[in-house]
A and B are shown apart, each in its own frame.
Chain A
Amino acid sequence: MNEIILIGLAGIIAVAAPIIFATIGETITERAGVINLSLNGTILLTAMAGFVVSVKTDSLLLGFLAGAAIGAFVALIIAFTSITLKQSQVAVGFVLTLLCRDLAYFLGNPFMGLPGPRIPSLPISGLKDIPLIGTLFFKQDILVYLSFILIAAAYWWIFKTRPGLMLQGIGERPAAAFVRGANVNRMRYIYTMIGGALVGIAGPMYSLSAKAGWKGTITGLDGIGWIALAITIFGGWNPIRAAFGAYLFALLQWLGIVLQPSFQNIPSQVLQVAPFPLMILALLLVNIGNTEWVDRTLAGLPESARRFIAQVLRALRTTPPASLGTPFENE
């Protein structure tokens, strides 16, 4: 029984892996001050392309490379329209969300339901037998291991390395980064594309592993991208917290499944659709501290209570990179 739960949790870690790639990709992009709203479309398109490529070439690697390349290209479009042409990032991102989706369905149509290759699971001998840890982390497939590495690497890069600090600076205050020698817009191009590439890898992670195959409109990926975006905010632009968000989401989904029989009388939709409202609730918690009315009402409270609540809220609060979504021109 205990073992079953453990395996269940291991399953959650696997389910979250693609979302982690997408969220961390977006986190990196947004850290540079650019919003890539196109995730939902990008993931669908790259899932399709990755699948088709690896079916045609039957090389998994090429499939993933194709995904990454397309993800980066979509990001490039966003970078160009928003950074160079100064158009609204949200607008461009939203259009690409729909455009990529329809492209995926249109171009992918001939390849529906074809049998395709699939990433094998790859238990790590030695580690896999460690009690608990082994089952949880080391009986997964290569992509899951990569997701672990990605979390650590992204965190290390953003907060520990010199270029990472500059990345923060660029998103926080481009003008200041500029006088410190950063080529702000080039950096934004680069990071947007890196982030896009990571998002682009999430696609094949589904079509070549988590949800192997391409089934067009019924593939069951339409929506993942939005969830990943929400998790990015929940994660407060911090890879570790973002990963936590992804795991939390997968956990909620899993609970929805295991709890279903025990709730005969409440509509099954309640559990199935629960994760997103809960995600909103989470966003509420991390944002409500930034709202003006809270300040006002707090002011009404007795000092001690006021201080306490204020501290709690500040602990929960996440604030986006200051220049997020705004173009930069040096003077």
Chain B
Amino acid sequence: AKPTAAPTAAPATEAPVVVTTEAPKEITFGLLLVGPYNDHGWSEAHFNAGLYVEEKLPGTKMIYLDKVNPADRPGTTPAQLADELVGQGATVILFNSDDMKDSATEFAAANPTINVIMASGDQQWAEGKDFKNLPNMVNVMGEMEYGKMMAGCAAALTTKTGQIGYLGPLINDETRRLVSSAYLGAKYCWTTYLGKPAEELKFKVTWIGFWFNIPGFTSDPTQVADDFFNSNYDVVISGIDTTEAIVQANKMKLAGKEVWAIPYDYEGACDEAPDICLGVPYFNWGPSYLGYVTAAMNGEYKPLFEWVGPDWTNINNPDTSMIGFKEGDALSAEAKANVDKFIAELAGGLQLFAGPMNLQDGTVYLKDGEKATDLQIWYLPQLLEGMEGKSLP
């Protein structure tokens, strides 16, 4: 999806953003992380992006606050915490999670002179269902769909039992479209490269009910992973914040079972158990953030909705690609070859969200020859036909 400037974004001349006439050479940007900055997952990916900006752009200074969620910071709102960062001199604020959506909106509205970046929001998407007109906010999201497709592909090319498990968090449009992407990737590689019939591929998602385990309230991801492996799902793709999938896969492996797993979010995620890691689709927020902060520095900050895909010339280029797929040691040579071929095809414009395609309940999602629009993908109402698992919360 190409960057689509929000229509309200008036010509740069009257962009109501940075007040000072000539751009300041010094700038402090504040980062609000939903999880621990060192969670080896979603939040750490953003944290590293911040470090990247500091390194690439002289004169920038990062301040951050992690665990920004009402469970860990009782009685606070992200907006209020953003105020704290502003109090420390930040003039650019990054909200790194969907959790902070409303606070980001509230804060952006209340602080027109602050440049706000909101990851994974859709407030700035004019066509989106939740559009808010905020001249000082950028929405950015990585097209992890591609990453998940690659993950699904790697899984399909590796599975011996033809059964792939997906460890899902809670159920919403975002998680649905990611699971479905993984499924599409898997199905494509299964049929195209292995030439096997689609029906022989089982793809099942089990939702634990939250982004991580809370005993007594969610299902235990460890148990979910184990259950997958024990019932002959030999590859498990993780969609949650924590690493149970590869941890358990590793345990099974040591116990002599032939299983693999694919973690999520964070480039280094495979390191925890390289032997069974087929690879990890990860976010690389650095380049985008660098862009926005630079813009802020030079007073060229524009409101924007960006849904950024990989840099197809090299999806793992730290300076250009938002989405990467780091192939793991456990990925066999021929599988690797095919995954690379798959990536090449995607680069060549292969669109997997293409008709004919039905939703899980059999209703038509895409007619024959129809390609899904960004809206259709972003707001995916159900899982797709052929996938096993719950579609609705």
Contacts and interface: CB of A to CB of B under 8 A. Distances in A.
Interface string A238-279: 000000000000100110111011011101110111011000
A213 B244 CA distance: 10
A8 interface: yes
B209 A272 contact: yes
B272 interface: yes
A212 interface: yes
B111 interface: no
Contacts of A87: none
B36 interface: yes
Interface string A103-133: 0000001001101001011010000000000
Contacts of A317: none
Interface stretch (B130-138, B183-191, B362-370, B385-393): B385-393
Contacts of A118: 251
Nearest to A110: B38
Given A221-B215, A268-B393, A8 B72 contact: no
Nearest to A279: B216
B40 interface: yes
Interface in B204-240: 204, 206-209, 211-224, 226-227, 230-232
A226 B216 contact: yes
B347 interface: no
Contacts of A256: 219
Contacts of A265: 392
A288 interface: no
B215 A112 contact: no
Nearest to B171: A268
A112 B230 contact: no
A227 B206 CA distance: 23
A256 B216 CA distance: 11
B226 A11 contact: yes
Size band of the interface chain B makes with A: 35 or more
A8 B231 contact: yes
A213 B271 CA distance: 13
A257 B40 contact: no
B230 A220 contact: no
A222 interface: yes
B218 A272 contact: yes
Contact of B254 (A112, A120, A223, A260): A120
Given A223-B214, A223-B216, A112 B206 contact: no
A173 interface: no
Contacts of B220: 15, 220, 253
Interface in A5-28: 7-8, 11, 15
Given A120-B254, A213-B243, A8 B215 contact: no
Contact of A215 (B39, B207, B390, B393): B39
A217 B241 CA distance: 12
Contact of B230 (A11, A215, A250): A11
B39 A113 contact: yes
B14 to A, nearest CB: 44
B219 A217 contact: no
A261 B223 contact: no
A216 interface: yes
Contacts of B227: 8, 11, 254, 257-258
Interface in A193-252: 210-213, 215-224, 226-227, 250
Contact of A212 (B67, B211, B247, B255): B247
In this complex, the member of B212, B215, B222, B390 whose beta carbon has the largest number of chain A beta carbons within 10 angstroms is B215
A273 B217 contact: yes
B374 to A, nearest CB: 28
B209 A268 contact: yes
Contacts of B209: 268-269, 272
A269 B67 CA distance: 24
Contacts of A227: 215-216
Nearest to A228: B215
A217 B67 contact: yes
B35 interface: yes
Contacts of B72: 217
A109 B222 contact: no
Contacts of A216: 36, 39
Pairs of residues from A and B, 3 with the lowest C-beta to C-beta distance, nearest first: A220-B213, A223-B215, A113-B40
14 contacts: A11-B230, A15-B223, A112-B36, A112-B38, A121-B254, A211-B244, A220-B213, A220-B218, A257-B224, A264-B390, A264-B392, A268-B171, A269-B209, A272-B217
Given A109-B36, A212-B251, A257-B224, 4 more contacts: A15-B220, A219-B213, A265-B392, A268-B390
